[in-house]
Amino acid sequence: MMVVLICTTVATFDEREQTMTRRWGIMGTGIIAHAFAEAIRAEGGSVVAVSSATPARAQRFAAAHGIPVAASPHGDLLRHRDVEVVYIATTNERHHLDAHACIAAGVPALVEKPFALHAPAARAVLEAASTAGLFVAEAMWTRLQPATQRLHAELASGVIGEPTAFQASFGVVLNSDPSRRWRSAALGGGALLDLGVYPATLAHDLLGPASRVQATGQLADTGVDLNVAVVAEHERGSATWRCSFIEASGVWATVAGADGHIWIGEPFHHAPSLTVHQRDQPVRHLPIDGHELGYRYEVREVHRCLDAGLLESPTLAHADTLAVLEMLDEIGAQLGVLRPKLAPVTS
């Protein structure tokens, strides 16, 4: 399977009215949405509306964060003209639908990972945003973390030679109740989309797009993947990684070249440190300042892009989002993972 890398051009908005404080709406009221609301405030933004499929949940979230508008269903949030940009933190199967709703309403959006359940759905969102002249991005916070930035700088210095190998694990044991979201095919559950997207993304970013993928795994009775192991050939090397809801295999990663390797401290997707093992040199342990700021880097990047009039973040590039989803689609197909059919988009 050849992963198709679609090139896009970073474009600019027409002139828009700028404000000192960006006014956000949040779709979804889960754990990450709570943390993101705090990150928005910490970065000088404000949350002016929140939505949930359940009115009571929207009201509780609004009360907890001092948000003036609690909307239900999600589409009602977009009727509030104070909302300048939306963070989409709904369940996985809704991501592309809610992104289309934002685009139809003329509102930029940051879409929680996975950007969509399938690459074709993601491509349709990106094409719609481009046509509408609106900013949209996947909330892949790992790309913006200071540890990731430092990792790229270390690799660029040639400290381990050309990176040619990547290994990673993202294994955490979650509740086995089949009614939970991560066990539900209808809600886009499974370890691959929730956890595997992180090693898949880092492998892509370090070694280029994948050209061949082989996967093995274990499926739940509900048809979602519980345990996945991947071997992939990339443009500049090879990657082996696994993700699991049933194995406590850790959240670690390492990248290697001819002259050494770099260990990315756990959890690798927002690492507190790097450890550089260079051939014939003392080991260097690099603590990472600022890793505790979490989602603030995403908020900061969205504000920067909107202020600059960008339709696309260079760090959260559309082509990379699509390439990773192409790879996840292939892995899911090899395993026979059950995915819901794409719901029709209505404006």
* CA-based end-to-end distance of the chain: 34
Strand ordering across the sheet containing 284-287? 210-219, 225-234, 237-244, 165-171, 250-257, 260-264, 273-278, 284-287
Please tell me whether residue 45 adopts helix, strand or coil conformation: coil
- The token pair at 329 is 């689609």
CA distance 66 to 202: 36
What is the structure's pLDDT at 292? 87
Domains (ranges, CATH) in the chain?
A: 23-141+295-316 (3.40.50.720), 146-291 (3.30.360.10)
Bond prior to 146 in cis (omega within 30° of 0): no
Burial class (CB in 10 A: 0-12, 13-18, 19+), 166: buried
CA distance 65 to 68: 9
**How does residue 344 score in pLDDT terms, banded at 50, 70 and 90?**
low
Q: For 245-265, how does the pLDDT look when each residue is reduced to its tens digit (9 = 90+)?
A: 999 999 999 999 999 999 999
E strand or H helix at 300: helix 296-308
Q: Contact at 8 Å (CB) between 311 and 134? A: yes
What is the structure's pLDDT at 9? 33
Strands 85-88 and 69-71: unpaired
Q: Contact at 8 Å (CB) between 86 and 24? A: yes
Burial class (CB in 10 A: 0-12, 13-18, 19+), 79: exposed
Bridge partners, 273 (sequence order): 287
CA distance 325 to 336: 16
- The token pair at 32 is 């990450």
Q: For 186-216, how does the pLDDT look when each residue is reduced to its tens digit (9 = 90+)?
A: 999 999 999 999 999 999 999 999 999 999 9
Tally of CB atoms within 10 A around 57: 17
Nearest CA to 197 among 230, 222, 220?
230
Bond prior to 73 in cis (omega within 30° of 0): yes
What is the structure's pLDDT at 154? 98
Segment 324-336 mean pLDDT: 98
Dihedral sign for Cα 109, 112, 117, 122, please. positive
Please tell me whether residue 155 adopts helix, strand or coil conformation: helix
Strands 69-71 and 46-51: parallel
Q: For 52-94, how does the pLDDT look when each residue is reduced to its tens digit (9 = 90+)?
A: 999 999 999 999 999 999 999 999 999 999 999 999 999 999 9
The number of helix segments (H) and strand segments (E) in the chain equals 9, 14
CA distance 1 to 193: 19
- The token pair at 321 is 């989002």
Q: For 42-58, how does the pLDDT look when each residue is reduced to its tens digit (9 = 90+)?
A: 999 999 999 999 999 99
14 vs 44, residue with greater confidence: 44
DSSP summary character for residue 310: B
Q: For 135-188, how does the pLDDT look when each residue is reduced to its tens digit (9 = 90+)?
A: 999 999 999 999 999 999 999 999 999 999 999 999 999 877 777 888 899 999
Bridge partners, 171 (sequence order): 244, 250
